[in-house]
Amino acid sequence: MSALRDLLVARIAADDAALVQLLGDFVRAASPNPPGDTRAAAAVLMRWLEDCGVPYRLVGPDPAMPNILASFEGGRPGPHLVLNGHIDTFPTIAAERWTQDPLGGAVADGRLYGTGSSDMKQGTASMVALFCWLHAIRDRLAGRLTLTAVSDEETFGPNGARYLVEHHAAEVLGDCLLNAEPGAPTTVRFAEKSPLWVAIEVQTMGCHGAYTHKSPSATKIAAAIIEDLAALEATEVPLPPAVAQAIEAGASEIDRVHLPGAARTMGAVTLNIGIWQGGTLVNMLPGHCRIEADIRLPWGTTPDTILPRIAEIVGHHQGASMQVMSKQTPRWSDPAHPMVGNIIRNAAQVAGWQVRPIPSLAGTDSRLWRERGVPAFTYGTTATNVAMPDEHTDLDEWRKVVRVQALSALDYLTQGRAA
């Protein structure tokens, strides 16, 4: 086992310059979503796979949004591990405020800059490289390894990971998922809060702004609804004990990574009014207003427990109606899973990091595996300037994270059993 670990570490070291080049080339191949055309970026990953002699295929309903799918069997029976990363990125934000070319993939002061360099081209590049490194020693592994490098993640679209789990479930679900989204290398995320998106429309007659006695104001009614919705944030949530214990144990690190207050927010229902549209002229009383609410649900509650309360609030207001735009039930994986232990142990050995298993505030494709009962875990670099000017990845940190990911996957595939 030690010799195999040493062999893998040596291969990673030998490929160091090529790996940085891969990330730079990947960043330079723009893949903003929208519009979501990832063909150029996918081609960069495909070249790496081809140079390593690793077979793969492209699957998906939209040729402009290819998903790279590859899989191999080890030398003996064992668990099925799935690696996941996405190819698309947010569009470049405020290009004029960047100090580096947003699509340049430049290295400066030990950082590689560019749109998507943090979210998550660094992670997808590491998953592709890791897949190839383990493919080279596949006869000495137990079980199966699958790579899913997907498009259409940033807009929660149907052409990426969701398509794979719905149409290629037998190949991509597996026994465990390792996702490489950024967060912090001192945390491994085993759960995500789930969004409940609700649209509320208010319709009244409307009139001239001087005659406010003639019609109720749709915007005033919407404002009152927003005030009433704020009560949702006081919902008492019976967190599962394992989740509550993880939040408590990791509270200081959660607040360090995400700023003070994050740990408290982890276990609470939160409300964000993302859109509020009403009125046409300052001297007209609005007859229509639409609000869209993003309500994030923690573990221990479900959309079905919250929606009746929203419907009751809306029903108390004249001319108001609601529509559910999207709903998901929050799920979590066991923070004591062997993959979590592998990451904790290897992070301590590789970098001296004390890793805490914690939930996540934001969403990743990992949720799609959890929805189908597959333990799914996210481990990656620090999320630096994601969707902001000068997005970048610290290369020294990335190198350590790559080693942790690779050794943790190796450990899982040499245990010889699913967990």
| Of the residues 275, 308, 326, the one at which a domain ends | 326
Same domain, 121 and 226: no
In which order are the strands placed within the sheet that holds 376-378?
57-59, 67-73, 142-150, 76-86, 176-179, 376-378, 187-192, 356-360
pLDDT in tens, 159-205: 999 999 999 999 999 999 999 999 999 999 999 999 999 999 999 99
Same domain, 153 and 251: no
Q: Is 341 exposed, middle or buried (0-12, 13-18, 19+ CB in 10 A)?
A: middle
Taking the C-alpha atoms of residue 365 and residue 149, their distance in angstroms, rounded to an integer, is 11
Predicted confidence at residue 307, as pLDDT, reads 98
Q: Residue 198 in contact with residue 325, Cβ under 8 Å?
A: yes
- How many independent structural domains does the chain possess? 2
Predicted confidence at residue 416, as pLDDT, reads 54
pTM of the model: 0.94
Predicted confidence at residue 419, as pLDDT, reads 45
Question: Reduced to 3 states, what is the DSSP secondary structure of residue 285?
Answer: strand
pLDDT in tens, 299-331: 999 999 999 999 999 999 999 999 999 999 999
Q: Confirm whether 405 is domain-assigned.
A: yes
Same domain, 57 and 203: no
Q: Confirm whether 417 is domain-assigned.
A: no
Q: Confirm whether 26 is domain-assigned.
A: yes
Same domain, 77 and 138: yes
Same domain, 267 and 171: no
Same domain, 257 and 209: yes
| Of the residues 326, 343, 370, the one at which a domain ends | 326
Q: Residue 271 in contact with residue 233, Cβ under 8 Å?
A: yes
Predicted confidence at residue 1, as pLDDT, reads 59
Q: What is the CA radius of gyration of the chain?
A: 23
Same domain, 355 and 228: no
**CB under 8 Å to 10, separation ≥6 — which residues?**
none
Same domain, 265 and 162: no
* Helix segments in 271-327, DSSP class H: 303-315
Same domain, 364 and 351: yes
Same domain, 207 and 72: no
Question: Reduced to 3 states, what is the DSSP secondary structure of residue 205?
Answer: coil
Q: Confirm whether 59 is domain-assigned.
A: yes
| Of the residues 302, 326, 350, the one at which a domain ends | 326
Domain range for residue 401? 2-192+331-412
Same domain, 154 and 220: no
Taking the C-alpha atoms of residue 362 and residue 131, their distance in angstroms, rounded to an integer, is 26
Long-range contacts of 212-217 (CB under 8 A, 24+ apart): 212/285, 214/285, 215/285, 215/287, 216/318, 216/319, 217/285, 217/286
Q: Confirm whether 276 is domain-assigned.
A: yes
Domain harbouring 144, CATH code: 3.40.630.10
Q: Confirm whether 418 is domain-assigned.
A: no
Domain harbouring 263, CATH code: 3.30.70.360
Same domain, 51 and 162: yes
Q: Confirm whether 419 is domain-assigned.
A: no
Identify the segments of the chain with pLDDT beneath 70: 1, 416-419
Predicted confidence at residue 417, as pLDDT, reads 54
Q: What is the number of other CB atoms lying within 10 angstroms of the CB of residue 292?
A: 17
Four-point Cα dihedral 127, 17, 95, 273, nearest 10: 20
